[in-house]
């Protein structure tokens, strides 16, 4: 199992932190930094190469498009990180996003005077409700989230299609204050991206500094040990799915604001992109490791690759292939690092202690 072990709070020795212990901690922290750093370097290189070839890539409009384009994927990837860290996965996010986006449009259509904050709250609540369904079913069935969320991926999407029954919602049906939300900028930065930044900061801080946030890593590292140490595993996993559903709901509302034109197919196939972004961002698919910042950077990198291929005049059909190769490279790299660290730690404990 590939695990870089950045999040595992447990220490093998029962004594108080000694000198080598602190060194070990700093080693894992350095690795974490390396992952986010290497993502930043990759991103920087990509932007640099693209800009050298075409200097309009860093023009205001292009940057704005880029930030707009990645905001929704960033929010979803951060939510997915919460889930994957606990050794689960939520494949239904694309369907939740589609359902909420369509619900938002329908809300404006049937009650034209609705202020947009109400729509936002309704959308997030609907997303959270979908999360409750996911979490509840997982608790009842006691099977991997992969199976349940594969089922709700179909079910939510089917509800969406059934409800829409071929209708489409147009931008004209939505209040302009809401649509402005999707395109407005503050000091040149799109509001959508600012929302995403707030989500990243909040989730990142929670995962790193809160007790229950650390417990999520413990659950993902070794569920049995987490349970024995008194962590309410079932409740935490349930909460994580509700939180991820709510974030997917938020993303759905933002999707509606950004694109305006909606049908029941919105967000189809997004789930794999989201998982890909998290994996590229260093979130280990088997839990216990990874950060929200990494996942967000992964999402930005995937989006940037798409637009820079277009600028570099590379056939846009290459984009998906590049994304796939990147995923393979990312997990391969993780594996290599994990093996190195394991070897080094083994060497140390053989010497000292």
Q: Of 50 and 273, which CB lies nearer to another protein in the complex structure? A: 273
Question: Does 285 engage in binding with another protein (CB under 8 A)?
Answer: yes
Q: Of 205 and 318, which CB lies nearer to another protein in the complex structure? A: 318
> Contact region for another protein (CB under 8 A) — 56-64, 161-169, 193-201, 244-252?
161-169
Question: Does 12 engage in binding with another protein (CB under 8 A)?
Answer: no
Q: Of 126 and 302, which CB lies nearer to another protein in the complex structure? A: 302
> Bridge partners of 169?
262
179 in Cβ contact with 260 (< 8 Å): yes
Question: Does 141 engage in binding with another protein (CB under 8 A)?
Answer: yes
> Contact region for another protein (CB under 8 A) — 28-36, 180-188, 246-254, 269-277?
269-277
Within residues 119-138, the interface with another protein by CB under 8 A covers 137
> How far from 166 is each of 48, 103, 169, 188, 252, CA to CA, in Å?
44, 14, 10, 37, 19
> Contact region for another protein (CB under 8 A) — 39-47, 58-66, 74-82, 153-161?
153-161
Question: In angstroms, how far is CA 233 from the centroid of its own chain?
Answer: 21
Within residues 300-319, the interface with another protein by CB under 8 A covers 315, 317-319
To the nearest 10°, report the CA torsion of 143, 278, 268, 75. 110
Q: How far is the CB of 183 from another protein (least distance, A)?
A: 29
Q: How far is the CB of 36 from another protein (least distance, A)?
A: 19
Among 33, 58, 118, 146, binds another protein (CB under 8 A): 146
Helices marked H in 7-92 — which ranges?
A: 19-53, 60-85
Residue 261, token pair as written in the block? 């034109």
SS3 281: coil
Strands (E), the chain: 185-186, 189-190
246 to 265: interface string for another protein, x by CB under 8 A: ------------------x-
Q: How far is the CB of 321 from another protein (least distance, A)?
A: 3
Within residues 206-225, the interface with another protein by CB under 8 A covers 223
Among 121, 198, 321, 342, binds another protein (CB under 8 A): 321
* Of residues 15, 295, 300, 275, the one with CA closest to residue 145: 275
* Residue showing tokens 């932190």: 17
Determine the Cα–Cα distance for residues 205 and 149; give it in Å rounded to an integer.
27
Rounded (5°) CA angle 128-276-249: 15
* Residue showing tokens 């604001």: 257
Among 58, 229, 286, 349, binds another protein (CB under 8 A): 286
122 in Cβ contact with 107 (< 8 Å): yes
165 to 184: interface string for another protein, x by CB under 8 A: xx------------------
63 in Cβ contact with 71 (< 8 Å): no
> Contact region for another protein (CB under 8 A) — 60-68, 100-108, 152-160, 205-213?
152-160
**Number of residues in the chain:** 353
* Of residues 189, 192, 160, 193, the one with CA closest to residue 178: 192
Interface residues toward another protein, by CB under 8 A: 1-2, 87, 89, 137, 140-144, 146-148, 150-159, 161-162, 165-166, 223, 227, 233-234, 264, 269, 272, 275-276, 279, 285-286, 315, 317-325, 327-328, 331-332, 335
């Amino acid at each position: 199992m590939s695990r870089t072990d950045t999040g595992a709070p447990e220490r093998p020795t029962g004594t108080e932190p000694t000198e080598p212990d602190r060194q070990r901690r700093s080693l894992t922290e350095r690795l974490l930094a390396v992952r986010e750093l290497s993502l930043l370097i990759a991103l920087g290189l990509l932007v640099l190469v693209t800009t050298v070839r075409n200097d309009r890539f860093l023009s205001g409009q292009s940057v704005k498009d880029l930030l707009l384009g990645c905001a929704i994927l960033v929010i979803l990837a951060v939510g997915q990180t919460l889930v994957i860290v606990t050794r689960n996965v939520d494949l239904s996010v694309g369907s939740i996003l589609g359902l909420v986006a369509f619900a938002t449009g329908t809300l404006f259509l049937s009650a034209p005077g609705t202020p947009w904050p109400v729509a936002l709250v309704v959308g997030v609540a609907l997303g959270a409700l979908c999360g409750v369904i996911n979490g509840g079913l997982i608790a009842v069935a006691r099977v991997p989230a992969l199976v349940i969320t594969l089922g709700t991926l179909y079910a939510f999407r089917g509800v969406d299609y059934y409800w829409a029954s071929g209708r489409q919602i147009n931008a004209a049906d939505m209040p302009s204050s809401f649509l402005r939300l999707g395109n407005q900028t503050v000091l040149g930065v799109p509001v959508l991206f600012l929302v995403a930044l707030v989500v990243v900061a909040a989730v990142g801080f929670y995962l790193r500094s809160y007790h229950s946030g650390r417990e999520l890593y413990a659950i993902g590292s070794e569920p049995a040990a987490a349970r024995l140490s008194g962590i309410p595993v079932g409740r935490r996993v349930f909460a994580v799915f509700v939180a991820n559903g709510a974030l997917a709901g938020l993303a759905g509302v933002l999707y509606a604001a950004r694109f305006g034109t909606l049908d029941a197919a919105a967000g189809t196939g997004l789930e794999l992109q989201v998982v890909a972004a998290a994996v590229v961002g260093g979130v280990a698919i088997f839990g216990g490791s990874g950060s929200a910042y990494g996942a967000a950077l992964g999402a930005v990198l995937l989006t940037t690759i798409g637009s820079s291929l277009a600028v570099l005049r590379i056939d846009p059909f290459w984009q998906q292939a590049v994304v796939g190769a990147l995923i393979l490279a990312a997990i391969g790299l993780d594996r290599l690092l994990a093996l190195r660290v394991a070897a080094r730690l083994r060497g140390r404990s053989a010497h000292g202690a």
